[in-house]
Amino acid sequence: MKTPILSVIFFLIASVLGALGQYLYKSGAERSDGSIGGYLANPRLLGGVVCYIAVMVLFVAAFKKGGSLTVLYPVYATTFIWAALLAMFVFGTPIKPINIAGMGLLIAGMYLMGK
């Protein structure tokens, strides 16, 4: 069974939203006072939750279209790449050569898993 391109696109969008959700969780946690009320009223944390709900909706839509696990989940692994890029641009976190090598291995693994 061949995975439809739309399923791959859904998972790619989900990976970007997953990275955005991680950013919102981190930045929301930094601005939180640590109380439950503070968590529940924190717009960034709530935005992260919305991102992860959207991720799950995209997963279901992709699988409904006939997506294969062995093709789609490696695509979602790009979340780590998007998160690293976000961290670099927003927090100034450097991307080291070893990180770039890891990203290359992720991409190579996605390619091989899709074969």
Task: Tell me the C-alpha distance between 28 and 9, whole Å.
Answer: 28
SS (H, E, C) 22-52: HHHHHHHHHCCCCCHHHHHCCHHHHHHHHHH
pTM of the model: 0.85
pLDDT in tens, 58-80: 999 999 998 788 888 888 989 99
Q: Could you tell me the two tokens for 58?
A: 């995209």
Percent over 70 (pLDDT), the chain: 98
pLDDT confidence of residue 16: 96
